[in-house]
Amino acid sequence: TVLKVLDNVPFGQVAGEHLFFALRLERPEWTNWLPGQFVMVRPSGWALDMLWARPFSICRVSPRDLVLFFQAVGRGTRRMATLKSGDEVLVWGPLGNGFAMEPDTPTLMLAGGIGIAPFVGYTHHHPKPWNLHMEFGHRMPLNCYPFESINEKIMGDAHHETSREDLAAFIERMDKRIAEYAAQDGLVLACGPTPFLATVQKLALQHGARCQLSLETRMACGVGACLGCVTKVSDDMTASGVAAGRAQVCEHGPVFWAHQVTL
């Protein structure tokens, strides 16, 4: 589907340069989606070396728009940072599976970096947002995630806390939180860079928490065809139809139970 850009709002700077963007596109025809699912996006008219599309977690789909967050780190995403109102992008999706939605279960959302995107969607989907608790960690300057400025457009009623202490303190805090949620048979959901997910996975397994991880990986096709996103998975995933302990993140994920993946 070709969708028009409504706006592309920067929010977060390093060395005077904007790093994070909230890309708002016109509403797609599909309305059924789950937080954790993603879309593949390719701006129209990219040069040949940028032909490959990029995967982006769905932040929100509303009657007015489709919102995606992205971090301008590589050549493709830096180019995406220049998208402006009226530009056109090619979007296909929603793809992959989503996070478990258990309205009566206390749910802890742990976001690392731009991994916050699916949890914004979660707050829109979840019928009882007061049961949700969100924490996120980053090593960016304090002006990242200025929710005050994007709340109105994008955020629901999430309860969130910024984590601005050092990494060790943040891990200690996550450890405590995960233990709390494990004790009440809650759900722990995490999205972020692989080292962040590996930490959450370790803590969740230690505490016996029910935990799902949304993996970040490079993708080329997004539909299970190119095998460019294969990851190692446990035997019980093999039993459920995934070949030889290896699964495509785009097709069998990006959300996996913590005990199923090797990070």
Which residue reads 């233990």 in tokens? 179
Residue 181 Cα distances to 107, 113, 158, 184, angstroms: 8, 22, 17, 5
Q: Is 40 in the site for ligand FES (CB under 6 A)?
A: no
CB 105 within 8 A of CB 45: no
Q: Is 242 in the site for ligand FES (CB under 6 A)?
A: no
- β-bridge partners, 55: 40
The first and second tokens of residue 87, run together, are 């530009």
**Distance between CA 158 and CA 205 in Å, rounded?**
26
- C-beta of 38 vs 170, nearer to ligand FES: 38
Please identify, among the stretches 12-20, 88-96, 170-178, 214-222, the one whose residues bind ligand FES according to the rule CB under 6 A: 214-222
**Interface residue with ligand FES, options 71, 226, 234, 263 (CB under 6 A):** 226
Instruction: Quote the least distance from Cβ 247 to ligand FES, whole Å.
Output: 10
**Interface residue with ligand FES, options 110, 188, 219, 233 (CB under 6 A):** 219
- C-beta of 209 vs 219, nearer to ligand FES: 219
Residues with Cβ within 8 Å of residue 157, at least 6 apart in sequence: 123, 129, 130
Instruction: Quote the least distance from Cβ 215 to ligand FES, whole Å.
Output: 11
Specify the pairing of strand 65-71 against strand 20-26. antiparallel
Instruction: Quote the least distance from Cβ 96 to ligand FES, whole Å.
Output: 9
- C-beta of 52 vs 147, nearer to ligand FES: 52
**Interface residue with ligand FES, options 14, 73, 183, 225 (CB under 6 A):** 225
Instruction: Quote the least distance from Cβ 246 to ligand FES, whole Å.
Output: 11
Q: Is 34 in the site for ligand FES (CB under 6 A)?
A: no
How many C-alpha atoms does 14 have within 13 Å on its Cβ side?
Answer: 10
Which residue reads 């996070």 in tokens? 99
Which residues make up the interface to ligand FES (CB under 6 A)? 219-222, 224-229, 248, 250
